[in-house]
Amino acid sequence: MGTTEGSPTGQYAFVVVSNRLPVDHVIDDDGNDAWTRSPGGLVTALEPVMKANHGAWVGWVGQADVDLAPFDNDGIHIVPVPLSADEVENYYEGFSNDTLWPLYHDVISAPGYHRVWWDSYVLANERFARAAAASAARGAVVWVQDYQLQLVPKMLRELRPDLTIGFFNHIPFPPYGIYSQLPWRTQIIEGLLGADVIGFQRVADSSNFLRAVRRLTGFVTRAPIVEVPVEGGAPRSVVARFFPISIDAKSFEDLARLPEVQARAQEIRDGLGNPKTVMLGVDRLDYTKGIGHRLKAFGELLAEGKLSVEDVTLVQVANPSRERVAAYMQLRDEIELTVGRINGDFGTISHQAISYHHHGYPREEMVALYLAADVMLVTSLRDGMNLVAKEYCAARFDNDGVLILSEFTGAWDELKRSLRINPHDIDGLKDAILQAVNMPRAERASRMRALRKRVLEFDVQRWSTEFLAVLVAQGKRSRG
Ligand code: GDG
């Protein structure tokens, strides 16, 4: 890595670094390059900070071998980082999505440990770090996002010691007994400790991280602080604590209040043959989400005659995801086989058991689905937060609807008036489904009011404001 003297200084006081840029490349009607802003919560939360602080966003455009010059897009300076087809395969699909993702989600699927993947991860992280270093003004605040970029904080600190560096991990941080499998476990910990503040979703994640720090480096920790020794100087303090992420709650409620979205919700119910109960699952098609467990519970309830397809329909949106990774291809086959079996066994000419959709929808349609659903099923086996659970509550301004929520999600720490389930306990899951289907209106309302209060108060704006306040304070403490 280079040194301070060698690295150029950019002009941006606030820089976000994430694997993917918040814009998608499209070709417009005249055949020219154009950009559409992806409407994720992170972008919405950071947009005001970006605009007020002359912000830049460093990330990959999502296509291999596309090298574009930086450009401005609606008040944000966009800095594309190119990735070759090899890097997409090794750094992204390989090390990020087939090593770190399964390892950090309790090895639900077996992680692959391949040295070529790791080498590519190091090189790609270096490229992101250099692009961030070249964009950041002297003393700027840089916020690095997620598990694909865990080496960036250290690399960036070596290039630019003047920067205040934050990192947020969107996925869980595993217990040491699992984390210690990783052949490069010490390098990742050292990479993260380059930051001033390391944010996690849950208290359990930050404690797991602090334990890994103690075991692998021997550095002293006094939660939430890690004292990182500095050669010939006083130790540097790093804050590692939880900052649960949230959603732009008001925008979901605003959409739900639109008459056309409500009309669409009714149309969805009509289209399903107006069953008494509509149950809904919305997930990326990922093995962490427990879709198979949910289908098993529903299938058994139908088989036992405790539910009937005339009364209950399950709508399952399975958003296509990581389709080139083998574990995901296999998962898709398993889920679709199960859906086909359940529909074949229990469906009638007029009533399907499961209405299954392997595609993504516009946000308005998602909100219409939330409004149409009497019961929302979140059955993750492990999930950093799970934003879908929060979106469902935000949309339900009518104080109706029942949220069934896995205790293995970050959201469970906040949404305690949901129906808590352990997705591995199929009988418990079936009981919760029956309880939800039969819950009296007054109980639904009282639970939903409490859930909504939490989600509307602790929104993504608050999350980013709190993280950045701690980060800036920590930066001042360390660098005056
Ligand atoms: C990771 C962590 C953590 C889904 N289908 C459609 C669609 N979505 C949107 C949802 C929601 C988002 O995608 C999914 O967020 P989740 O939090 O549920 O899950 P991951 O994708 O795994 O996210 C997770 C999150 O990062 C944030 O830190 O909570 O734990 O795994 O917003 O609404 N959106 C649209 N159409 C779809 O078909 N428009």
Q: What is the distance in A from the centroid of ligand 1 to the CA of 391?
A: 10
**Residue 41 confidence (pLDDT):** 65
> Rounded distance, CA 243 to CA 169, Å?
10
* Residue of the CA atom closest to atom 30 of ligand 1: 384
Q: Ligand 1 in contact with 386 (CB < 6 A)?
A: yes
* Report field, pTM of the whole predicted structure over 0.75: yes
DSSP assignments along 165-187, one per residue: EEEE--S----HHHHTT-TTHHH
Output the pLDDT for position 8: 64
What is the pLDDT at residue 53?
80
Distance 387 CA to ligand 1 centre (A): 6
Mean pLDDT by 10 residues, the chain (480 residues): 53 95 86 78 78 89 91 91 98 97 97 98 98 97 97 98 97 98 98 98 98 96 95 94 96 97 98 97 96 98 98 96 91 97 96 96 96 98 97 98 98 98 98 98 98 97 95 92
Q: Is 388 in the pocket of ligand 1 (CB under 6 A)?
A: yes
Cα 203 from Cα 198, distance rounded (Å)? 12
Q: 163: CA distance to ligand 1 center in Å?
A: 31
Tell me the best of 103, 286, 387 to mutate to test the pocket of ligand 1, counting ligand atoms within 8 Å of each CB and taking the most: 387
| H-state helical runs in 89-202 | 101-104, 115-135, 152-159, 176-179, 185-192
For residue 363, which atom of ligand 1 is closest to its CA?
39
Give me the pLDDT at residue 165, please.
Answer: 98
**What atom of ligand 1 comes closest to residue 388's alpha carbon?**
18
What pLDDT does residue 368 have? 98
Does 358 sit in the ligand 1 pocket, CB within 6 Å? no
Burial of residue 362 (CB within 10 Å: 0-12, 13-18, 19+) is exposed
Q: Which two tokens stand for residue 138?
A: 């002297």
Q: Which atom of ligand 1 is nearest to the CA of 39?
A: 39
Instruction: Please work out whether the CB of residue 361 comes within 6 Å of at least one atom of ligand 1.
Output: yes
User: How far does residue 177's CA lie from ligand 1's centre (Å)?
Assistant: 28
**290 Cβ contact partners less than 8 Å away, ≥ 6 residues apart:** 379, 380, 381, 406, 423
Q: Is 383 in the pocket of ligand 1 (CB under 6 A)?
A: yes
Identify the pLDDT of residue 174: 98
Length of the chain: 480
Q: At what angle do helices 259-271 and 363-372 cross, to 10 degrees?
A: 60
